[in-house]
A and B are shown apart, each in its own frame.
Chain A
Amino acid sequence: MSQPMTRREFLKSAGALAAAGVLPISLVELAFADPDQNFTFGYISDSHIQQIKGDKFVRNWDRGLIRAVAETNLLDPKPDFVIYGGDLAQLGSKAELDHGAEIMSALRHKTYYVMGEHDYYLDLGEYWSKLFGKHYYSFDHKGVHFVVLNSILTYDDWTFNRWPSAEQRMMEMAGLDNPNGSPFMVGDAQREWLRQDLEKVNKDTPLVVLSHSPLQKIYKGWNFWTEDAEQVQALLKPFKKVTVIYGHVHQIQYNQIGNISFHAVMATAWPWPYPSTYAQAEQYLPKLTVPMNRADPFFERDATGWQFINVATGNVDMQYNLYNNTTRTVAFNTQTGWPEDKTYQAADKHIPPQSHY
């Protein structure tokens, strides 16, 4: 029988430090980092709060988010802010968004929200806006320009004409492998906004783009895909240091395309298989990625987690805090010019659980 983690197990795994009331996360010590320019931010994503009926929600997904919020609160030193990476709700209902927002309200840091498709397709983000604000926007922090995109839009025809009801539209988009789905995109209007926003930014300023969809084309069948990826990447090309952080895939992925580093974040709810494990289709997994450990479904929180990111001299280093696995750190290597796993990048360092088939 599956064991939702007992209190004793939680304390044991979190160590004596949890009992002490802090979770000292050691910042990645990098030879090239100038400590004065460092700051950290937390990243929680893909909680998929799912309503069963009335005030009853799927306990499994609730626990994942509750734990991420609790642990992020214990971070020492404190992160400057937290990003919520999208898919707070499962079917975009007011009840789910409210329940998710209630859990997130315990977070003691300023939080910026990114839209996910599970939040959007019921009412096109109307209630989400009431809770969290704009669908896309930018802000500056300690010399870094942050852009938040709503990258889960799709063709107008699918969004407005295809389905007889909003509920059905949401159900159809909710199935990852649903052949009736439609590819994600940033879209013409938002790309034009992005172009204008970036015009005012110095090309030496580090850029961090927060998106739900990958802004790459990985596997269309599961919408690990952004239809206008090349056009978005072209807008980011003139900048010296660009990092894209995305959710949606519920697994470790990272990549480098030209000047852009890409980092995926984990879900708090559940892990997804790598597209390479689907035998009936061709797909492309970012080649740098050393996969996460295969999930052990008998441990509810296995292969789920949250992140914190260290911005050192404009490059992003991501630490994956996995509840049931060893922490993984993917840091930008200025020698090679791409992100690397601190422990497992070399082929001979891979361990058996990282082999997916």
Chain B
Amino acid sequence: MKDNKGKCYTIVLAILASAWGAPALADEFTQAELTRWESEYMAVVKKGRELFTDSKLGSNGVVCAQCHPNAANTHPETYPKFQKQLGKVASLWEMANWCIRNPLEGKDLAADDPRMTALLAYMTFERRGVKLEPGKH
């Protein structure tokens, strides 16, 4: 019996040792991965910029960038906030949809539509470095 326990411990130790030696544990990431994630993100930001200037987002040819050059005045750092015209506290994607429906005369995007994600990524990228002030008017 003593012999089996000893074997168990040895096996467990061996498994743990091989695990520690393995390249990517859950709580470590490599420079290669950081670079890849960054470029995935910037690709989505770039897509967001394209949509920001895409006349097909709405139905009348008007684009987001017409009123919001470089996404100025979209104020992502203030959301969620009470949007008086919607009569409730709302998130940025709801306000983006309001713009798509109204000045652009288009159709809502779902909150998790890749196009909405891209628009949000672009807007927040252009506002990077500005401190968060949720609720601010």
Contact = CB atoms under 8 A, between A and B. Distances in A.
Contact of A176 (B65, B98, B129): B65
Given A175-B53, A279-B130, A50 B62 contact: yes
B126 A280 contact: yes
A2 B69 contact: no
Interface residues of B, number: 24
Interface string A262-284: 00000000111101011111000
A71 B71 CA distance: 33
A177 B65 contact: yes
B61 A273 contact: no
Binding site of A, secondary structure by majority: helix, strand, loop or mixed? loop
Bin the interface of chain A by size: 20 to 34
Interface string A171-197: 000011100000000000000000000
Interface in B68-107: 68-70, 72-73, 85, 98-99, 101-103
Contact of B68 (A60, A273, A281, A296): A273
B66 A1 contact: no
A280 B67 CA distance: 17
Given A58-B61, A297-B103, A277 B72 contact: yes
B128 interface: yes
B126 to A, nearest CB: 6
Interface in A291-313: 295-298
A279 B75 CA distance: 10
Given A221-B69, A278-B69, 19 more contacts: A1-B102, A2-B102, A50-B62, A52-B59, A60-B103, A177-B65, A177-B69, A222-B70, A272-B69, A273-B68, A277-B72, A277-B73, A279-B126, A279-B128, A279-B129, A280-B128, A281-B70, A296-B85, A297-B67
